Structure 1
Amino acid sequence: MFTGIVQGKAEVTAIEHREQFMTLQVKLPMEAANNLQTGASIAINGTCLTITAFKDTLVSFDVISETLRVTNLGKLQLNDVVNFERAAKFGDEIGGHLLSGHVSDQAEITAIDRDDNNCILWLKPAAAMLPYILPKGFVALNGCSLTIGEVRDQQFNIYLIPETLAVTTFGEVKVGDRINLEVDPQTQAVVDTVNRYLEANPIGSK
């Protein structure tokens, strides 16, 4: 379980590609590398990955075919920087919203509006994700818990504060980048339940 409060950025230090499989190694900041354990979970760009090996601040993960298909991890290159969050523990403050780290799909950045105090990103998700993206609802983007602003023309926007830009990789994103998207599971459950009910009981039917 994760909270969507990204703890920092990690550098990609090694990648090994095999057929529909990848081994990924990242370097965590020293302060985030305490009490690591093989088999523990860390969210990398919002994707829950299992630690397979570690030494000092270097941590390795196996990335399987479904994860490569759904997420942006397969596009990573050496020296790229990713968002990370260690798994939440009982008693931790939940400052964002509860996340599974199971990425739903990717959304493409279509526009970036910046001024002295604000950064607004517009993103276009897959059509299948749009029913779960509602104004003032929650999404996780590359592991960041964020509140949706507007939804229009099959796109939505988010507003980023300076702290988010400094701590996460959103300070370096550009138009055309594909961002991992995890929709709010409670919203998804409600929308799917209502849709199933309406399909079984069409309006006007007797």
Structure 2
Amino acid sequence: MKINQDTVLRGKKVALVPYTAAHVPRYHEWMQSEELQRLTASEPLSLEQEYEMQRSWREDADKCTFIVLDAARWPGQAEEESCMVGDVNLFLTNAEDPTLGEVEIMIAEPCYRGRGFGKEATLLLMAYGVRSLGITKFEAKIGQENEASICMFKKLHFKEVAVNSFFQEVTLKLDVSDQERRWLLEQTNHVEEKSYTELKRPVGVLET
């Protein structure tokens, strides 16, 4: 989505940055994992297909994608690609209801799971969706075996509304009432929104 192509959302644990071509090799490496393929219901792609997917996610008006970085290490302490933790997505797939967003979160690096990175990344994305995209309803579809993710979304006030036994998938939803909106914005009042271009500029480089 072009609206977020220069947006960084920086929280306490995570920084969300636009998904660029520079992230594709690491992302492609992640998606060779059979565990991640199973948890995300994804098929493995070739590297060239992954680049095509990245271009699609960047250009399509119905996909808002961020790469999740370790905020303690980026920017400044390590190369950006080595700070990658996972990704988070908001899909606007209902043409009849542009206020409905489907949320997906993947913490690909095992050492970052269970430490609050997925929760904060999801909260940052949801708050961005409410503030900048006009989202008033969220939906998440999660594999039944992914109990950790189901539990996390329930902690974010999502309610289980359906179980698809054929696809072995649970659907959870959250309607953003005034009360939920206040709660969501309170949970993310520490977040800084910055320019990706500015943060990536090398220290000491001055514009002429």
TM bin, normalised by shorter chain, reads under 0.3
Structure having the higher Rg = 1
Q: Which has the higher helix share?
A: 2
Give TM-score scaled by structure 1 length: 0.28
Higher strand proportion (structure 1 or 2): 1
Q: TM-score, normalised by structure 2?
A: 0.27
